[in-house]
């Protein structure tokens, strides 16, 4: 079943195309990774699915519902994890998760909040430490816990592995695969070709606002993908 859909989706800024005629369908349980040079249109695509910006042409839909900036219906289905997850530095992990899940309209017991952080890979020893002391990888895990607390069907991520050390990247990859196996749909923009092959089920390569290639990761090695990427951009 198609969870994320773009039909002729396009966006122009001041008459210049940031995204042109995107046709894409991402199914439940897929991990779709979008590659492309700086300015290729990856974040614009994510922003259109989030309803952060209005499409200039075509449409984006989530679970069959068209995304519109002021319509909350599609927002309930999605969670967004930006490159740098913004959290309250003076609150601890549990308090941050509690605050953001209340904002999203859900309430959990302290035990349930701890279980969500644990599921996101944050060890119990960190739960009561102030966010100001967390590493980037730990902040990202809180971001994932917030997405889990929201019970979002779709998790959109921008550059999720940028700045993560190799161990944190492997943990992140493993977690994404577990979430996808549970039926979450993950859509990420990334520059990390190697990780995209490891984590993704499908990969799209964008150039100047156009999706030029879509490949199944079962059919390509990291070296082949790197070659295709370099030939494309």
Interface contacts to ligand ATP, rule CB under 6 A: 13, 18, 36, 38-44, 189
Rounded least distance, CB 130 to ligand ATP, Å: 30
Query: In the complex with ligand ATP, which residue's Cβ is closer, 41 or 200?
Result: 41
CB atoms closer than 10 angstroms to residue 41: 25
CA distances to 23, 157, 183, 212 from 1, rounded to whole Å, are 16, 21, 11, 23
3 state SS of 146: helix
Query: In the complex with ligand ATP, which residue's Cβ is closer, 53 or 76?
Result: 53
Euclidean distance between CA atoms 67 and 60, whole angstroms: 6
Question: Could you tell me the sign of the dihedral formed by the alpha carbons of 216, 24, 163, 135, in that order?
Answer: negative
Burial pattern 59-80, b for ≥16 Cβ within 10 A else e, equals: ebbbbeeebeeeeeebbbbbbb
Rounded least distance, CB 84 to ligand ATP, Å: 13
Query: In the complex with ligand ATP, which residue's Cβ is closer, 43 or 63?
Result: 43
Rounded least distance, CB 5 to ligand ATP, Å: 19
Rounded least distance, CB 206 to ligand ATP, Å: 6
Query: In the complex with ligand ATP, which residue's Cβ is closer, 85 or 117?
Result: 85
Rounded least distance, CB 62 to ligand ATP, Å: 19
Query: In the complex with ligand ATP, which residue's Cβ is closer, 36 or 143?
Result: 36
In this structure, are residues 43 and 49 in contact, taking their beta carbons and an 8 Å threshold? no
Euclidean distance between CA atoms 187 and 156, whole angstroms: 5
């Amino acid at each position: 079943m198609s969870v994320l859909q773009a039909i002729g989706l396009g966006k122009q800024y001041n008459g210049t195309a940031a995204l042109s005629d995107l046709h894409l369908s991402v199914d439940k349980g897929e991990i779709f990774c979008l590659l492309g040079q700086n300015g290729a249109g990856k974040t614009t695509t994510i922003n259109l699915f989030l309803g952060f910006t209005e499409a200039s042409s075509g449409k984006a839909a989530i679970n069959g519902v068209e995304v519109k900036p002021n319509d909350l219906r599609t927002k309930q289905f999605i969670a967004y994890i930006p490159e740098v997850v913004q959290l309250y530095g003076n609150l601890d992990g549990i308090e941050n998760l509690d605050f953001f899940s209340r904002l999203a309209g859900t309430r959990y017991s302290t035990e349930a909040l701890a279980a969500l952080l644990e599921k996101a890979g944050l060890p119990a020893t960190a739960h009561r430490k102030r966010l100001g002391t967390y590493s980037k990888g730990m902040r990202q895990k809180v971001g994932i816990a917030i997405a889990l607390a929201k019970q979002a069907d779709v998790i959109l991520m921008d550059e999720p592995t940028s700045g993560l050390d190799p161990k944190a990247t492997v943990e992140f990859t493993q977690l994404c695969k577990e979430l996808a196996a549970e039926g979450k749909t993950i859509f990420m923009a990334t520059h990390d070709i190697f990780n995209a092959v490891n984590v993704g089920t499908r990969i799209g390569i964008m150039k100047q606002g156009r999706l030029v290639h879509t490949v199944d990761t079962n059919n390509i090695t990291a070296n082949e993908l790197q070659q295709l990427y370099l030939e494309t951009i």
